Amino acid sequence: MNGSHKPPVIRAGRGICSGDTILIADVGNSRIKLARLEEGEAGAAAGGSGLPVVSHRQDLDSRQFHPDNLARWLVAAAPGPAVVLVASVSEGAATRLEATLAALSVTRPSPIRQRRVGHADLPLAISLPAPERVGIDRLAAAAAARHVKPEGKPAIVVDCGTAVTVDLVAGDGTFLGGAILPGPQLMAQALASGTSQLPALVDIDWASIPAMPGRSTRDAIAAGVGYGVCGAVTRLVAEGARELGPDAVTILTGGWRALVRGSLPGAIEIPDIVLFGVALAAARACTR
Protein backbone atom coordinates (compact mmCIF):
# COMPACT_ATOMS: atom_id res chain seq x y z
CA MET A 1 0.00 0.00 0.00
CA ASN A 2 1.70 3.14 -1.20
CA GLY A 3 -0.23 6.08 0.18
CA SER A 4 -0.53 9.14 -1.98
CA HIS A 5 0.12 11.58 0.87
CA LYS A 6 3.13 12.06 3.13
CA PRO A 7 2.51 10.77 6.67
CA PRO A 8 2.19 13.51 9.28
CA VAL A 9 4.85 13.95 11.92
CA ILE A 10 2.96 14.22 15.20
CA ARG A 11 4.22 16.47 17.96
CA ALA A 12 1.95 17.07 20.95
CA GLY A 13 3.55 20.38 21.91
CA ARG A 14 1.69 22.56 19.43
CA GLY A 15 -1.86 23.43 18.41
CA ILE A 16 -4.74 22.43 20.65
CA CYS A 17 -2.76 19.69 22.36
CA SER A 18 -0.30 21.86 24.29
CA GLY A 19 1.87 18.96 25.42
CA ASP A 20 -1.05 16.79 26.53
CA THR A 21 -1.46 13.13 25.71
CA ILE A 22 -3.75 12.94 22.69
CA LEU A 23 -6.71 10.57 23.02
CA ILE A 24 -9.23 9.87 20.27
CA ALA A 25 -12.78 8.55 20.37
CA ASP A 26 -14.86 7.19 17.51
CA VAL A 27 -18.42 7.18 18.87
CA GLY A 28 -20.70 4.93 16.86
CA ASN A 29 -24.25 3.73 17.36
CA SER A 30 -23.10 0.44 18.88
CA ARG A 31 -19.54 0.95 20.09
CA ILE A 32 -17.21 3.68 21.28
CA LYS A 33 -13.67 3.02 20.05
CA LEU A 34 -10.92 4.65 22.07
CA ALA A 35 -7.18 4.94 21.49
CA ARG A 36 -4.10 6.99 22.31
CA LEU A 37 -2.33 8.76 19.47
CA GLU A 38 1.41 8.20 19.57
CA GLU A 39 3.98 10.86 18.77
CA GLY A 40 6.55 10.55 16.00
CA GLU A 41 6.52 9.51 12.37
CA ALA A 42 3.17 8.07 11.37
CA GLY A 43 2.70 4.72 9.73
CA ALA A 44 5.21 2.52 11.50
CA ALA A 45 2.61 0.52 13.40
CA ALA A 46 0.12 0.58 10.53
CA GLY A 47 2.11 -1.41 8.00
CA GLY A 48 3.80 1.66 6.55
CA SER A 49 0.42 2.81 5.27
CA GLY A 50 0.88 6.45 6.16
CA LEU A 51 -1.70 6.25 8.93
CA PRO A 52 -0.99 7.57 12.43
CA VAL A 53 0.17 5.16 15.10
CA VAL A 54 -2.33 4.43 17.89
CA SER A 55 -2.11 2.36 21.05
CA HIS A 56 -4.21 1.41 24.09
CA ARG A 57 -7.23 0.41 22.00
CA GLN A 58 -10.41 0.00 24.02
CA ASP A 59 -14.07 -0.55 23.09
CA LEU A 60 -17.06 0.54 25.16
CA ASP A 61 -20.75 -0.12 24.65
CA SER A 62 -22.27 3.07 23.24
CA ARG A 63 -25.58 2.52 25.01
CA GLN A 64 -24.50 1.47 28.50
CA PHE A 65 -20.79 1.71 29.17
CA HIS A 66 -19.78 1.82 32.84
CA PRO A 67 -17.82 4.90 33.95
CA ASP A 68 -15.36 2.68 35.85
CA ASN A 69 -14.29 1.03 32.58
CA LEU A 70 -13.54 4.44 31.08
CA ALA A 71 -11.71 5.52 34.24
CA ARG A 72 -9.47 2.44 34.18
CA TRP A 73 -8.64 3.01 30.53
CA LEU A 74 -7.74 6.63 31.19
CA VAL A 75 -5.34 5.65 33.98
CA ALA A 76 -3.51 3.31 31.59
CA ALA A 77 -3.64 5.47 28.46
CA ALA A 78 -3.12 8.94 29.92
CA PRO A 79 -2.06 9.21 33.56
CA GLY A 80 -1.12 12.86 32.99
CA PRO A 81 -2.87 15.77 31.25
CA ALA A 82 -4.84 14.71 28.18
CA VAL A 83 -7.02 16.06 25.41
CA VAL A 84 -9.77 13.87 23.93
CA LEU A 85 -10.89 14.46 20.37
CA VAL A 86 -14.39 13.03 19.86
CA ALA A 87 -15.93 12.15 16.51
CA SER A 88 -19.52 10.98 16.81
CA VAL A 89 -22.53 9.81 14.86
CA SER A 90 -24.50 9.15 18.05
CA GLU A 91 -25.29 12.35 19.93
CA GLY A 92 -26.63 10.58 22.99
CA ALA A 93 -23.56 8.37 23.38
CA ALA A 94 -21.19 11.29 22.73
CA THR A 95 -22.95 13.47 25.30
CA ARG A 96 -22.69 10.73 27.90
CA LEU A 97 -19.02 10.14 27.08
CA GLU A 98 -18.23 13.84 27.35
CA ALA A 99 -20.14 14.19 30.62
CA THR A 100 -18.31 11.18 32.07
CA LEU A 101 -14.95 12.58 30.94
CA ALA A 102 -15.76 15.92 32.56
CA ALA A 103 -16.72 14.22 35.84
CA LEU A 104 -13.57 12.09 35.82
CA SER A 105 -11.42 15.14 35.09
CA VAL A 106 -12.56 16.71 38.38
CA THR A 107 -11.33 13.73 40.40
CA ARG A 108 -8.01 13.27 38.58
CA PRO A 109 -4.76 14.93 39.58
CA SER A 110 -4.30 15.91 35.91
CA PRO A 111 -7.04 17.56 33.80
CA ILE A 112 -8.78 16.16 30.74
CA ARG A 113 -9.82 18.55 27.99
CA GLN A 114 -12.07 17.54 25.13
CA ARG A 115 -13.13 18.74 21.72
CA ARG A 116 -15.49 17.54 18.99
CA VAL A 117 -14.06 16.73 15.57
CA GLY A 118 -15.88 18.19 12.55
CA HIS A 119 -15.46 17.88 8.81
CA ALA A 120 -13.19 20.93 8.66
CA ASP A 121 -10.67 19.17 10.93
CA LEU A 122 -10.08 16.37 8.45
CA PRO A 123 -7.40 16.52 5.73
CA LEU A 124 -10.01 15.84 3.07
CA ALA A 125 -11.53 17.65 0.10
CA ILE A 126 -15.30 17.09 0.04
CA SER A 127 -17.18 17.47 -3.23
CA LEU A 128 -20.66 17.81 -1.72
CA PRO A 129 -22.92 20.85 -1.26
CA ALA A 130 -23.33 20.39 2.53
CA PRO A 131 -20.29 18.58 3.99
CA GLU A 132 -21.32 19.51 7.52
CA ARG A 133 -24.34 17.23 7.15
CA VAL A 134 -22.33 14.13 6.20
CA GLY A 135 -21.64 11.62 8.96
CA ILE A 136 -18.21 12.23 10.45
CA ASP A 137 -17.57 8.46 10.37
CA ARG A 138 -17.87 8.43 6.58
CA LEU A 139 -15.58 11.43 6.20
CA ALA A 140 -13.00 10.11 8.68
CA ALA A 141 -12.89 6.78 6.85
CA ALA A 142 -12.41 8.60 3.54
CA ALA A 143 -9.62 10.74 5.00
CA ALA A 144 -7.80 7.60 6.12
CA ALA A 145 -8.49 5.87 2.81
CA ARG A 146 -6.71 8.60 0.87
CA HIS A 147 -3.57 7.79 2.86
CA VAL A 148 -3.92 4.05 2.26
CA LYS A 149 -4.90 3.80 -1.38
CA PRO A 150 -2.23 3.63 -4.10
CA GLU A 151 -1.26 7.03 -5.45
CA GLY A 152 -3.62 8.31 -8.10
CA LYS A 153 -6.11 5.46 -7.74
CA PRO A 154 -9.70 5.91 -6.56
CA ALA A 155 -11.13 3.93 -3.67
CA ILE A 156 -14.43 2.46 -2.52
CA VAL A 157 -14.80 2.36 1.27
CA VAL A 158 -17.23 -0.22 2.67
CA ASP A 159 -18.02 0.22 6.38
CA CYS A 160 -20.01 -2.64 7.90
CA GLY A 161 -21.46 -1.12 11.05
CA THR A 162 -24.94 -0.60 12.47
CA ALA A 163 -25.59 1.03 9.11
CA VAL A 164 -23.64 0.07 6.00
CA THR A 165 -21.93 2.83 4.07
CA VAL A 166 -20.34 2.47 0.64
CA ASP A 167 -18.46 5.65 -0.21
CA LEU A 168 -16.35 6.79 -3.14
CA VAL A 169 -12.99 8.56 -2.98
CA ALA A 170 -11.57 9.99 -6.20
CA GLY A 171 -8.02 9.35 -7.35
CA ASP A 172 -6.97 12.77 -6.05
CA GLY A 173 -8.43 11.97 -2.62
CA THR A 174 -11.69 13.91 -2.91
CA PHE A 175 -14.74 12.51 -1.11
CA LEU A 176 -17.55 12.07 -3.64
CA GLY A 177 -20.39 10.67 -1.52
CA GLY A 178 -21.93 7.22 -1.63
CA ALA A 179 -24.75 5.09 -0.30
CA ILE A 180 -26.19 4.14 3.10
CA LEU A 181 -28.31 1.11 3.95
CA PRO A 182 -29.27 -0.80 7.11
CA GLY A 183 -26.87 -3.35 8.51
CA PRO A 184 -28.05 -6.92 9.14
CA GLN A 185 -29.15 -6.31 12.71
CA LEU A 186 -31.25 -3.31 11.71
CA MET A 187 -32.82 -5.30 8.87
CA ALA A 188 -33.72 -8.10 11.27
CA GLN A 189 -35.13 -5.62 13.78
CA ALA A 190 -37.25 -4.01 11.07
CA LEU A 191 -38.79 -7.40 10.19
CA ALA A 192 -39.60 -8.11 13.83
CA SER A 193 -41.07 -4.68 14.55
CA GLY A 194 -42.97 -4.41 11.27
CA THR A 195 -44.71 -7.79 11.41
CA SER A 196 -46.85 -9.58 13.95
CA GLN A 197 -45.36 -13.08 13.80
CA LEU A 198 -41.73 -12.86 12.70
CA PRO A 199 -39.35 -13.22 15.65
CA ALA A 200 -36.48 -10.91 16.55
CA LEU A 201 -33.07 -12.38 15.85
CA VAL A 202 -30.69 -12.21 18.80
CA ASP A 203 -27.15 -13.49 19.23
CA ILE A 204 -26.51 -13.76 15.48
CA ASP A 205 -22.79 -13.51 14.79
CA TRP A 206 -23.09 -12.46 11.12
CA ALA A 207 -19.56 -13.77 10.57
CA SER A 208 -20.63 -15.84 7.56
CA ILE A 209 -23.51 -16.07 5.11
CA PRO A 210 -26.33 -18.14 6.65
CA ALA A 211 -27.43 -21.41 5.08
CA MET A 212 -29.92 -21.33 2.22
CA PRO A 213 -32.61 -22.62 2.35
CA GLY A 214 -33.37 -21.74 5.92
CA ARG A 215 -35.20 -24.65 7.53
CA SER A 216 -36.94 -22.60 10.23
CA THR A 217 -38.40 -19.10 10.33
CA ARG A 218 -35.36 -17.90 12.23
CA ASP A 219 -32.98 -19.45 9.69
CA ALA A 220 -35.03 -18.10 6.79
CA ILE A 221 -34.80 -14.56 8.17
CA ALA A 222 -31.05 -14.97 8.71
CA ALA A 223 -30.61 -16.21 5.14
CA GLY A 224 -32.71 -13.42 3.70
CA VAL A 225 -30.93 -10.73 5.66
CA GLY A 226 -27.46 -12.21 5.13
CA TYR A 227 -27.78 -12.70 1.40
CA GLY A 228 -29.66 -9.43 1.05
CA VAL A 229 -26.88 -7.42 2.68
CA CYS A 230 -24.17 -9.22 0.71
CA GLY A 231 -26.03 -8.68 -2.54
CA ALA A 232 -26.65 -5.00 -1.84
CA VAL A 233 -23.03 -4.32 -0.89
CA THR A 234 -21.70 -6.22 -3.90
CA ARG A 235 -23.96 -4.30 -6.27
CA LEU A 236 -23.07 -0.94 -4.72
CA VAL A 237 -19.35 -1.68 -5.00
CA ALA A 238 -19.87 -2.66 -8.64
CA GLU A 239 -21.71 0.60 -9.29
CA GLY A 240 -18.93 2.50 -7.54
CA ALA A 241 -16.31 0.79 -9.71
CA ARG A 242 -18.30 1.66 -12.80
CA GLU A 243 -18.29 5.31 -11.71
CA LEU A 244 -14.63 5.44 -10.65
CA GLY A 245 -13.08 3.08 -13.18
CA PRO A 246 -11.65 -0.45 -13.10
CA ASP A 247 -8.54 0.52 -11.10
CA ALA A 248 -10.55 1.48 -8.00
CA VAL A 249 -9.45 -0.32 -4.84
CA THR A 250 -11.92 -1.51 -2.22
CA ILE A 251 -11.28 -0.87 1.47
CA LEU A 252 -13.31 -2.91 3.95
CA THR A 253 -13.95 -2.08 7.60
CA GLY A 254 -16.55 -2.61 10.31
CA GLY A 255 -17.48 -5.22 12.89
CA TRP A 256 -19.31 -7.69 10.65
CA ARG A 257 -17.15 -7.25 7.52
CA ALA A 258 -16.50 -11.02 7.48
CA LEU A 259 -20.03 -11.48 6.12
CA VAL A 260 -19.16 -9.69 2.86
CA ARG A 261 -15.43 -10.51 2.71
CA GLY A 262 -15.95 -13.38 0.26
CA SER A 263 -17.98 -11.15 -2.03
CA LEU A 264 -15.22 -8.53 -2.25
CA PRO A 265 -12.05 -10.37 -3.33
CA GLY A 266 -8.90 -8.30 -3.08
CA ALA A 267 -10.39 -5.79 -0.63
CA ILE A 268 -7.97 -4.13 1.80
CA GLU A 269 -9.19 -4.75 5.36
CA ILE A 270 -8.58 -2.03 7.95
CA PRO A 271 -10.80 -2.71 10.99
CA ASP A 272 -10.27 0.71 12.61
CA ILE A 273 -10.19 2.97 9.57
CA VAL A 274 -12.64 5.48 11.08
CA LEU A 275 -10.51 5.70 14.22
CA PHE A 276 -7.44 6.29 12.05
CA GLY A 277 -9.31 9.09 10.31
CA VAL A 278 -10.03 10.70 13.69
CA ALA A 279 -6.33 10.32 14.48
CA LEU A 280 -5.49 12.19 11.29
CA ALA A 281 -7.74 15.02 12.43
CA ALA A 282 -5.95 15.07 15.77
CA ALA A 283 -2.55 15.02 14.08
CA ARG A 284 -3.59 17.92 11.88
CA ALA A 285 -4.89 19.93 14.84
CA CYS A 286 -1.73 19.30 16.84
CA THR A 287 0.69 20.30 14.09
CA ARG A 288 -0.84 23.56 12.93
Distance of alpha carbon 3 from alpha carbon 222, whole angstroms: 38
Convert the pLDDT of each residue in 46-97 to its tens digit.
Answer: 444 578 899 999 999 999 999 999 999 999 999 999 999 999 999 999 999 9
Closest CA to 210 of 192, 187, 190, 194: 187
Vertex 67, ends 115 and 31: CA angle to 5°?
A: 65
Residue 18 zone, left/alpha/beta (φ > 0; ψ -120 to 50; rest): left
pTM score over 0.85: yes
Any idea which residues carry the catalytic annotation?
A: 137
Pairing mode, strands 21-27 and 40-41: unpaired
Convert the pLDDT of each residue in 224-245 to its tens digit.
Answer: 999 999 999 999 999 999 999 9
% residues pLDDT > 90 (the chain) = 76
**Average pLDDT of the residues of the chain:** 88
